[in-house]
């Protein structure tokens, strides 16, 4: 097996022109060859400011594009000199044995990434501020976390664990469904998940200030968790945690849905 590590650093400078009234946008594209072309791979990325957009393509390499825009109406000056460059798009990429790790080195400015990967690729993506996570046409194990943005996965296959604290999670499985446990959670957003019509699963769902909907024929069960505590004075305190539970097509792997301020939609791909 051929092992190697590729370290790539991309630098992009935004040119600011005096008197310009519109925002300028710049981008850079680099291609990362894989150690084992044609085999499964994995992409891992943590981004502080910006969006992560991943698309499947027919190639056997990973293509990374960075985009940034800045309004140059008030360019920075120092001692009578005008700034003409910006290193906000500096980032690094490491590849080892088909595992790609992308790191954005500037932690104070927004950078948007468009990444093209082969179809069979696992994803571990995390974003925090000023951006969304979107994935199109990828099949693999996926872990997604977005603190202040939405998560949208379209035409995907595999398994998903997704958490969006303050926005919606919208997922459509159409490229193959992995029969394994999954979890979809949010605090202040809706969960809108579409599965194949022949889905067989155990459903566990809860929303504190919303509703739960499905177009599947679900056999309802009841699962009430109790937390009992006894104080020093001998008084018992019992907290009842109610979940909606049921089975679809005889049951299968557990699918967990949980949000506080939002609705839960469990859809069939009809």
pLDDT at residue 2 in the model = 47
Tell me what pLDDT residue 18 has.
31
**CA 73 centroid distance within chain:** 33
- pLDDT for 175 equals 87
User: What is the pLDDT confidence band of residue 16, given thresholds at 50, 70 and 90?
Assistant: very low
For the stretch 100-148, pLDDT in tens is 999 887 667 888 999 999 999 999 999 999 899 999 999 999 999 999 9
Alpha-carbon distance of 166 to 188, in angstroms, equals: 5
Does residue 259 surpass a pLDDT of 80? yes
Residue 59 has what pLDDT? 95
Q: What pLDDT sits at residue 76?
A: 59
pLDDT at position 270 = 78
**pLDDT at residue 67 in the model:** 83
pLDDT for 224 equals 54
In this prediction, residue 19 carries a pLDDT of 33
Q: Tell me what pLDDT residue 53 has.
A: 98
Q: Is the pLDDT of residue 23 over 50?
A: no
Average pLDDT value for the chain: 84
């Amino acid at each position: 097996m051929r092992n190697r590590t590729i370290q790539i650093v991309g630098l992009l400078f935004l040119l600011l022109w005096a008197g310009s009234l519109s925002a300028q946008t710049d981008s850079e594209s680099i291609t990362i060859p894989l150690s084992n072309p044609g085999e499964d791979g994995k992409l891992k990325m943590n981004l502080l400011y910006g969006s992560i957009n991943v698309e499947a393509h027919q190639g056997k390499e990973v293509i990374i594009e960075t985009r940034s825009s800045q309004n140059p109406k008030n360019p920075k000056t120092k001692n009578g000199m005008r700034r003409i460059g910006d290193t906000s798009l500096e980032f690094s990429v490491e590849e080892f044995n088909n595992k790609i790790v992308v790191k954005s080195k500037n932690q104070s400015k927004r950078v948007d990434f468009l990444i093209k990967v082969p179809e069979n690729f696992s994803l571990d993506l995390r974003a925090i501020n000023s951006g969304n996570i979107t994935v199109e046409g990828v099949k693999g194990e996926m872990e997604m976390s977005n603190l202040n943005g939405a998560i949208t996965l379209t035409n995907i296959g595999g398994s998903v664990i997704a958490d969006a604290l303050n926005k919606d999670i919208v997922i459509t499985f159409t490229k193959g469904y992995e029969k394994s446990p999954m979890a979809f959670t949010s605090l202040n957003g809706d969960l809108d998940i579409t599965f194949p019509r022949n889905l067989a699963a155990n459903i566990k769902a809860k929303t504190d200030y919303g509703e739960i909907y499905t177009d599947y024929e679900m056999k309802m069960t009841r699962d009430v968790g109790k937390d009992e505590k006894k104080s020093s004075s001998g008084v018992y305190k019992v907290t009842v945690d109610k979940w909606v539970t049921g089975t679809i097509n005889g049951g299968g792997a557990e699918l967990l849905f949980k949000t506080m301020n939002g609705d839960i939609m469990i859809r069939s791909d009809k």
